Structure 1
Amino acid sequence: QWEELIGIVRNNGKELMLLLNDTKAIDFASKFNPEMIEIHSVCLNVPRLQRAVIENIDKKAKVVIGIGGCSLDEVKKAVQFFHEREIVLMFGFQNYPTKYENVNLGKIRKIQALYPGKKFGYADHTSWDEDNNELITLLVSANGMDFIEKHVTTDYGKERCDYSAAISIEQLNMLYKKIKLLENLYGDGSMLLNKAEEDYSKYGPMKMAAIAKHDLVKGSKLTMGDVHFCRTSQSTGISQIDLLQVIGNKLVEDVKINQVIDWNHIRER
């Protein structure tokens, strides 16, 4: 059955991730070159299992470390052991079902701060009949998660293995769309202004610009008393901060009342 399921995954162009809880599972997994393997928190630091992963699983495979219910020292030791591999720290624990008050986003954020170069995931085991099931998943996902794990069933609510945290296929598809939306919201983290922000930050039409309070004469020195700030249809390259740097400079041309002060009006000191 496992080989059949793996074949379905491969035939549909999906990446393969396998949960490996013992050395036999590792031997089996090595035949299929999975893109990702996961070590559950229950066996996170078992020496024989750790060595088997290093010896049998391709170095290109991501190592997902289940850290739910683990101490900081246990997490640290596992990260140190697999330091040469690409690691994903997987939050969440299987106390079926997980109560949302036990998720502890505050703790998750602190652990993320300890490993700024790592990728993160969340194994969600919220109860299948929790009204806020999807909301809880999305809120955790929005906190810098690269991967989300959910149980899925074709018999929603029917008592069977792992049913207590399993969502339906329809719910999974809807969750996928919303997580993609979150990815777009998250952005690339660049601190530079994007095009929309640049348009919003223009001095004059958007941000208050320095305007001549009265007619200013070429050759006179610009003073703070010569200007006031307001929004206008005129644009200027001089920001509110820039103006402080040019106060005291001479004007190289006349400036009419209610005209914005721009760089072409100012002589360098």
Structure 2
Amino acid sequence: MFRNYRTDRTYIIAEIGGNFTTAEQAVRLIDEAKATGVDAVKLQTYRARTLSTRGAMFDMENTGVTSQFELFQRYEVDESLHEEVFRYAEAQGLDWFSSPSHQSDVDLLERCGVGAHKVGSDDAVNLPLLRYLANTGKPIILSTGMCTLDEVRDSVAAIKAQSDSRIILLHAITSYPTHPENVNLGAMQSLMREFPGLDVGYSDHTLTPVACLCAVAMGARAIERHFTYDKNADGPDHMLSADPEEMKWLVDAIRAFEVMRGSGVKEPAASERVTRINNRKSIVLERDLKAGDVISEADIAVKRPGTGIYPKHFEEVIGRRAAVDLKADAVLQWSNLA
């Protein structure tokens, strides 16, 4: 479903697709993800025969050189397992959805009652699939790895021409893993400027949670990070996935940032009401004065607390007369001056 998406906080997605092949593994991932405080879990929905030719090859750091068809075939999830995983995620209060790679995958997810669709970067420019997804009327989360800005414009236009589905754009880099020099979070902000009416976030493939936290600080509305129970487990995505401890740290850090971000209005914090008085400074006397004495520059100084005349009035006080007898170290008030 898609019930946990809110406009007042970052939406955090744990990508578990590719990190399980059995219901037991999926349940463990969902339980662990739930405990970290994420909002959603995401699967990958594909059939090797509709996704890849038998000659297509991977050549990435996490896979080495290997057959795409054979790797995808190994991690296919059938419809019954989809349903079992989705039902369990929903029972845990998590949103759930998937990345379909073909129109038939969309149909499978629709039969499961999915509340939103995620588009992987490999299909970001697959306009026939995007139009098919748009026809469902469901929210579309669109990763934009490998895309130029013009290509993103075309994809957004294709969806909008078909329906008024909510579109959430995710900046992404399709390198597994992504190293810091390639993250380019500034491109995420370029998407924000280009599409001011859309929520924009970040889909992460780095080896640490730092990029995700930086993205949130730069305005990301949604964060997607691969999730595993063991970084050393068998499978290509485990190495670039957050484990439970790391994901918990990330979720807690994001929620802490959201509190720290505040209203944006530059004004004294509630906690500064007392310190604003005690820790600021006022104009004070350096010597005793009698009523009628003229105040010279040598007679006054600027010291704590901030309960008297503000230092910005220092020049105005010079040349005034004391209205009453005053002791050295007295904090001057306007009522003390004639």
Question: Scaled by the length of structure 1, what TM-score is found?
Answer: 0.71
Offset, 1:170: 4.0
Partners of 1:44 and 1:168 in 2: how far apart?
Answer: 27
Partner of 1:180: 255
Moved >6 Å (runs of 4+): 220-226, 244-248
Shift of 1:47: 3.4
- Shift of residue 66, structure 1, vs aligned partner: 1.0
Q: What 5-or-longer segments of structure 2 have no aligned partner?
A: 1-80
Instruction: Please list every run of 5 or more consecutive structure 1 residues that lacks an aligned counterpart in the other structure.
Output: 128-132
Distance 1:86 1:228, change over 3 A: farther
Offset at residue 5 of structure 1 (A)? 1.1
1:113–1:196: structure 2 CA closer, same or farther, 3 Å change rule? farther
Say whether the 8 Å CA contact 1:126–1:165 is kept in structure 2. yes
TM-score by length of 2: 0.59
Q: Kindly report which structure 2 residues correspond to 1:33-48, keeping only aligned pairs within 5 A, or say none.
A: 33-48=113-128
Tell me which moved more, 68-77 or 95-104: 68-77
Q: Closer, same or farther in 2 for the Cα pair 1:263/1:51, shift >3 Å? A: farther
- Which residue of the partner structure matches residue 206 of structure 1? 279
Give me the whole-angstrom Cα distance separating, in 2, the residues matched to 1:32 and 1:225.
Answer: 83
Would the alpha carbon gap of residues 245 and 172 (structure 1) be closer, same or farther in structure 2, given more than 3 Å must change? same
Which deviates more, 63-72 or 205-214?
A: 205-214
SS of 2:227 mapped into structure 1: strand
What amino acid is aligned across from residue 14 of structure 1 in structure 2? L
Q: Deviation of residue 225 (structure 1)?
A: 8.1
2:102 aligns to what?
22
Among all aligned residue pairs of Structure 1 and Structure 2, give the percentage whose two residues are the same amino acid. 21
- CA shift at 1:99, angstroms? 1.2
* In structure 2, distance between residues paired with 1:34 and 1:255: 80
**Corresponding residue for residue 268 of structure 2:** 193
Q: Deviations over 1:15-64 (max 9, x none)?
A: 22332333333333334554442222332344333332332134xx3x32
Structure 1 residues 183 and 263: CA distance shift in structure 2, 3 A: same
Q: Secondary structure at the match of 2:200?
A: strand
Choose from 75, 79, 89 the match for 2:152.
75
Task: State the Cα deviation string for residues 221-263 of structure 1 (Å, max 9, x = none).
Answer: 999887532223x524x5455x389779x89964835433446
1:66 equivalent to 2:143? Answer yes
CA contact (8 A) 1:18 1:37 kept: yes
Q: Give the direction of change, closer, same or farther, for the CA distance of 1:258–1:16 in structure 2 (3 Å limit).
A: same
Deviation of 1:70 (Å): 1.6
| 2-structure distance, mates of 1:222, 1:25 | 85
Does the C-alpha gap of structure 1 residues 99 and 251 become closer, same or farther in structure 2, counting only changes over 3 Å? same
Q: Secondary structure at the match of 1:167?
A: coil
The alpha carbon displacement at 1:213 in A equals 5.5
